[in-house]
Chains A and B, each alone.
Chain A
Amino acid sequence: MTGPSRHTKMLAVLGVAALILLGRIFYIQLMDDSYKTDALNNSMVHIPVYPLRGIIYDRNGQILVGNKICYDLLCTPSALEPFDTLALSRALGVGPEVIKEKLAGYTTRSARRKIGYRSVVMFPKLPEETYMRFEEIAWRFPGFSGQARSLRQYPYNACGNLLGYISEVDAAYIKKHPEYKSGDYAGKTGLEFSCERLLRGEKGEKIYYRDSRGRIGASYRDGEADKPAVSGTDITTTIDAPLQHYGQQLMQNKVGSLVAIEPATGEILTAVSSPGIDVDCLADIGAHYQEIVSNPYKPMFNRAVQAAYPPGSVFKLVNALIGLEEGVFTPATKYACHAGYHFGRNNRLGCHNHRSPIDMEEGIMMSCNAYFCYVFKDLIDNPAYGTAEQAYTKWREYVESFGFGSKLGSDFPSELGGFVPAASYYDRYYGRNAWKAHTIISLSIGQGELGCTPLHLANLCATIANRGYYYTPHLIKETEQFPMDEKYRRRHYTLVDTTRFAQIIPGMYRAVNAGYGSGATAWVAAVEGLDICGKTGTAQNPHGDDHSVFICFAPRDKPKIAVAAYLENGGFGATWAAPVASLLVEKYLNGEISSGRKALEKRVLEGNLMDKVKTK
């Protein structure tokens, strides 16, 4: 074989391979700068800039939730130098041993590996004045720095339950929402939760150089690559802040709920759940969380949309409307009431003492139980429907068309549906065809197996005020940044013809305005010149005192407000619910309480029903 020997060829291969390696090394070390920039990248710090969270306004531009600046004190363990612990503890207002303890935690071997060159939040949420004290002498403490972030601020003590709170995201939350990083805040309840995507805004970042010892230096490329934070979108609610505040005062020391709706739009003016969460607790939920959770009255529970109660006598209005529509009676039909409705053998559904016989208007005005038992019996025994079951199913359809028995579809983050039993429910309970009108007669007066939220009742009231339709109640007003869902613009008609509604209103008017001694149940709610129309309810409660219920709207023509008040263990509807609701209406329409009703206002404000409420 000619040419170089195999030995020489092998040496050549060795040389060529070495040259290839060196060539590549030469290229990446001396020709290609990108690896040097990347080495810098490795030694750059990205510091997040937190956006301002969106502001929540009331319907008149009053701020319900704003922001205030606070500071996190960061510690970069790798950049620490010996410092005066006492001076730092004085500036921050914490004990020197706290600082020492925290630092010791950062400098263990495992923590050092984990933290590396990064910073950790040492003292979160320092108020501005504390931070400024530190800032003045910050040069004495290398390795410590501040980071601004915004905290929620509540200028108006209203709507604690509606607004909800924000808190730092935990590991479970981050797992579910990977766009969040540790240290971010997110809404956990209420509007803060349901409007999180709008409110949170977009996080930005600032980039700094870090030297080989991990100290943060100059801004990278003069801040060219920094990303500014984008503030969150503001939200305007339909809440009337002063009215909400007044409602909360009226409901203080009582358990229950007070809801007011503007009938012409479905906008919720006031939604009180009592006892509620004080806004001061919201700002620092961490410190109050245990206290709130362990409160036996469950302040986190938003009764306005989550508590399903029997509606009581206010439900007679629904039965009246259905009866008129089905033609089982007319407004002029008179029924006798002898201390109640007698049925079967020795059965009686009792009623209070009043004159007899009476027509529908007086039946509503005096809230006669017997009258609506007759109406309900005729509805279920209506020969137009073969069986009680079919008649009941038809009745249920009517009831559901008012929004009962399911979620109304409001923008409350946690609305519950309530309950209207299906015929099959009774079939299961009593057996098929083994029940009839008298078996379920308590439905006639809003007792029995019904469950509705105070929002349902306010919506019923708004439907009557509108003479036959309602808009889905909602909390958020349309703004430029927040287009409203079409469903809040649609009128929902019930299965009852709109002409029937006008027929029941005189009864509601007289219930309030017929005067003391006339037999009117809600004379206490009358306000001169406001033409309030209402209906009391006294929901029987096997666990204690009856619940006090009242719905009303005003004025009679072109109503501006529809209110439902539900006070647990408040007794008769006229005792507590009617005064509360009427005061709210008066405040909204007149702006103040007339001198003649000041005594009533005082009684309500000072009233305390908490002891009557059984807590488990």
Chain B
Amino acid sequence: MIGRSTAERSWLNTIDWYLVGAYLLLLLVGWLSIYASEYDPENVRSIFSWEMRSGKQLVWIGTALLLDVLILFAIPPRTVEALSPLLYGVMLLLLVAVIFLGANTRGSHSWFVLGPVSFQPAELSKITTSLFLAKWMSRYGFRLSRRQDFLLTLAIILLPMLIIVAENETGSALVYLSFLFVLYREGLSGWWLLLLLMIIVVFILTLVYSPYVALWVTMAAAAVCVCAERSNLRRLFTLYLPAGLLLAFYPWLYRSWMAEGPLAFLRPSWLLAGAALAMFIGCLVRAWREKNSFRVFVALALVLGLLITRAVPWVFQNVLQEHQRTRIEVLFGMKEDPSGAGYNVRQSMIAIGSGGFWGKGWLKGTQSSYGFVPEQSTDFIFCTIGEQWGFVGCLLTIALYVFLIGRILILSESSRETFTQIYGYSIAGIIFLHLVVNVGMTIGLMPVIGIPLPFLSYGGSSLWAFSMMIFIFVALIRNEKKYFR
């Protein structure tokens, strides 16, 4: 009797109900929103109707829950861990195979279509990559700072990512950037993250403003880094600040006074290039004299910045596809396209903006019912929440996500197993990136990238993948509690 009651208690206690609760709540919100986004006041069908997406989604939710139970009780987490290299390998093969065997949907070959069921390997490869990464990085004696380990780690992440790019699913590939969080947590220098941020900023600045501005910002950042590292404020104020200001106003100065005169040869771009060269040489000299590797890093970052400003126009024209170019141009207001690429975003912002504080109420949205927002039950599901439940709804939904991701982070941090820890960070990062990119897209902060909002967007493939992702983690934590209590 006693043994049985402890078994029952442990069955309940070992599951993290906070996580499961947040997950179930999000499923409910998604299901209601999918119904609302298709709701037609003149042709009312039940939320359970098979003709509505909400009816189909209910089937997906049901099967996902079954899958969850299966993962929790039928599959030992140890097996998953042990199989992770195999799963990763199989998934790589599937990712490659889908390029040749997959159906062509809007120019991307990323879906296997088997009769009525279609399935996207890229969704599942996030999980297998997370698992294998966790397995690899929890290996005894693994050190991220060792070059060999670091490069192999990068390879594990980049391999599926590049194959997905080849499938023309740039959006899904972007999600792999979230593994940077894991690397950061496991000791990757924050400077590398800063460098990545810098590359993005320079790219945008070059595109939206000019290479001059972009290079100026690169140099300013380099100057701040150099001074911050040594806490050398005097140098910042006596040399870099005046020089920076001069270079900032120089193009204007040149245009108004010097362009026509004898000093016309002192072109702003030349002067800036000269300053950059001086800074580069200065950094190298100091690095050599003081045996300071950070200065080398800064000098190389400077060169990288210069290369990027040169390469951006080429990358923009030749690497990106037409629709991606337009989406970026629309995001930065370089191009008005209210009926084309800008249409979705504009309609989505109108729908969210019209929600106000309390929203219009469930099934009372005007923008959604008349089909103003396209893709409303899939990628743009957040519009329905914004319009019908207003700011309160958005706040609660995002809070739910923050709770879910935060809970995963905290559970990972307190876990004693490196495998669980790294897997947890991975999936927290993945969900986080999905959230930021998807919601950011609906409110005009991000370019339109077609990735779903986890647990909310209509679609079985993504729901199954995210459910498995979460419940493998829940199972791992449960397993740990079972043994360590």
Contacts and interface: CB of A to CB of B under 8 A. Distances in A.
Contact of B445 (A14, A15, A24, A43): A24
A313 B169 CA distance: 82
A113 B370 CA distance: 9
B41 A213 contact: yes
A26 interface: yes
Given A29-B352, A29-B386, A22 B413 contact: no
Interface string A4-45: 001100110011011011101110111010111011001100
B355 A29 contact: yes
A42 B369 CA distance: 12
Interface in B341-380: 346-347, 349-357, 364, 366-367, 369-372
A182 interface: no
Interface string B411-424: 00100000000000
Contacts of A214: 370
Contacts of A21: 398, 435-436, 439-440, 443, 445
Contacts of B386: 25, 29
A28 B364 contact: no
A10 B354 contact: no
A95 B410 CA distance: 74
Contacts of B41: 212-213
Nearest to A5: B413
A605 B444 CA distance: 79
A594 B20 CA distance: 110
Given A10-B184, A18-B401, A26-B391, A212 B366 contact: yes
Interface string A263-278: 0000000000000000
Interface in B169-224: 181, 184-185
Given A6-B184, A18-B402, A39-B350, A11 B409 contact: yes
Interface string B24-50: 000000000000000001110000000
A7 B413 contact: yes
A116 interface: yes
A216 to B, nearest CB: 14
A3 B153 CA distance: 27
A14 B439 contact: no
B395 interface: yes
A78 interface: yes
Contacts, number: 105
Interface in B269-300: none
B353 A212 contact: no
Given A21-B443, A30-B391, A78-B42, A43 B352 contact: no
A116 B352 CA distance: 22
B350 A42 contact: yes
Max count, chain A CB within 10 A of own CB: residue among B356, B443, B445: B443
B394 interface: yes
Nearest to B391: A29
Max count, chain B CB within 10 A of own CB: residue among A17, A20, A43, A116: A17
A117 interface: yes
Given A11-B409, A38-B350, A117 B370 contact: yes
B132 interface: no
Nearest to B369: A212
B390 interface: yes
A28 B436 CA distance: 17
Given A7-B413, A15-B402, A39-B366, A28 B432 contact: no
B72 interface: no
Given A18-B401, A29-B352, A39-B351, A24 B406 contact: no
Nearest to B445: A24
Interface string B84-106: 00000000000000000000000
A39 B443 contact: no
B442 to A, nearest CB: 9
B445 A35 contact: no
A38 B353 contact: yes
B367 A36 contact: no
Contacts of B366: 39, 42-43, 212
A203 B395 CA distance: 47
B358 to A, nearest CB: 10
Given A29-B356, A35-B352, A17 B443 contact: no
Given A22-B394, A28-B349, A17 B354 contact: no
A22 B394 CA distance: 8
A28 B383 CA distance: 12
Contacts of B444: 24, 28
A28 B409 contact: no
B394 A29 contact: yes
A112 B395 CA distance: 36
Given A21-B440, A35-B350, A35-B353, A212 B181 contact: no
A25 B391 contact: yes
Contact of A11 (B354, B369, B391, B406): B406
B405 interface: yes
Contact of A25 (B181, B350, B352, B432): B352
A38 B367 CA distance: 10
B402 A14 contact: yes
A558 to B, nearest CB: 65
A34 B356 CA distance: 12
B388 to A, nearest CB: 12
A6 B353 contact: no
A30 B435 CA distance: 22
Contacts of B394: 22, 25, 29
A39 B351 CA distance: 7
A550 to B, nearest CB: 63
B432 A212 contact: no
Nearest to B188: A6
Contacts of A11: 406, 409-410
Nearest to B425: A10
Contact of B354 (A6, A24, A36, A112): A36
Interface in B301-352: 346-347, 349-352
B113 to A, nearest CB: 25
A21 to B, nearest CB: 5
Contacts of B352: 25, 28-29, 35
A41 B347 CA distance: 11
Max count, chain A CB within 10 A of own CB: residue among B346, B350, B351: B350
Contact of A36 (B43, B185, B353, B370): B353
A116 B351 contact: no
Contacts of A24: 443-445
Interface in B38-68: 41-43
Nearest to A20: B445
Max count, chain B CB within 10 A of own CB: residue among A10, A20, A26, A116: A10
B484 to A, nearest CB: 20
Given A10-B425, A212-B41, 11 more contacts: A11-B410, A15-B402, A18-B399, A21-B439, A22-B395, A25-B386, A25-B395, A29-B394, A39-B353, A42-B370, A112-B43
Interface of B: 41-43, 181, 184-185, 346-347, 349-357, 364, 366-367, 369-372, 386, 390-391, 394-395, 398-399, 401-402, 405-406, 409-410, 413, 425, 432, 435-436, 439-440, 443-445
Report the 6 A-B pairs with minimum CB-CB distance, sorted nearest first: A35-B353, A39-B354, A212-B366, A28-B353, A38-B350, A7-B413
10 contacts: A10-B409, A11-B410, A22-B395, A35-B349, A35-B350, A36-B353, A42-B366, A43-B370, A213-B41, A213-B42
